[in-house]
Amino acid sequence: MTDDRQGDRNARRLRSYGRRKGKRLTARKERLVAELLPALRPRLSEPAPATLRDLFSVPVREVWLEIGFGAGEHLLWQALANPDIGIVGCEPFLNGVSSLLGGIDDHGIETVRIHDGDGREVLDWLPEHSISRAFILFPDPWPKKRQAKRRLVTPQLVQALARVLRSGGELRFASDDLNYVREALLAIGGDRAFAWTASRASDWRARPADWPETRYERKALSESRKPVYLRFTRL
């Protein structure tokens, strides 16, 4: 896709996220954003590697994608638990990006790449069937009726995910907003490229063992909101 076409597409999209920066970063985080982040950014202005594993400087078995990783707790946990997996993370909130950079620097992780912008830009860039697992965990629910059109998960996003996920790949979604959960079920479950894997209530009420808790989940639970965990298989 040319830069002009990419720019036109982005201009037509509503932002699915809020602010780009919060409180002032510490000196260390400012340094990591200036020095480490540029080395980890995928170059979206250039074609993606034909073999996406080549995006990483160390050998990886397959590549996962997280859209909207927040402060990066889930992504960092997955990177540490799965050292043979490459992970591309997308997050426009700079404070969250800097928190993940701190974890990457602390642990010397070489299997993570970060796009500090709209995850849909990465979806447009990725080769077909290049991703084995995708995560969208506790995206901004935009709860007010007039805001709902800004929600990330739409039929168009689901089609983009279907293009980049390999057959047998997995899509994970979580939210504590039941209206958003219903919309996600309709958008993802209604797409013939995906099958919902749940067979009993505990499949969506209980968080799997390889799905670590995030601060957004803890906040929801502390406010008596019960998260829902959905898993889909790419057919």
Q: Using alpha carbons only, how large is the chain's radius of gyration in Å?
A: 17
- Tell the burial category of 139 from Cβ atoms under 10 Å away from its Cβ (0-12, 13-18, 19+): buried
Q: List, in sequence order, every residue forming a beta bridge with 173; answer none if it has no partner.
A: 136, 230
Which residues are identified as catalytic? Answer: 140
CA distance 76 to 57: 18
CA distance 107 to 113: 15
Nearest C-alpha neighbor of 197 from the set 183, 208, 210, 212? 208
Residue/partner pairs of 45-48 with CB below 8 Å, 24 or more apart: 45/3, 48/125, 48/126, 48/127, 48/130
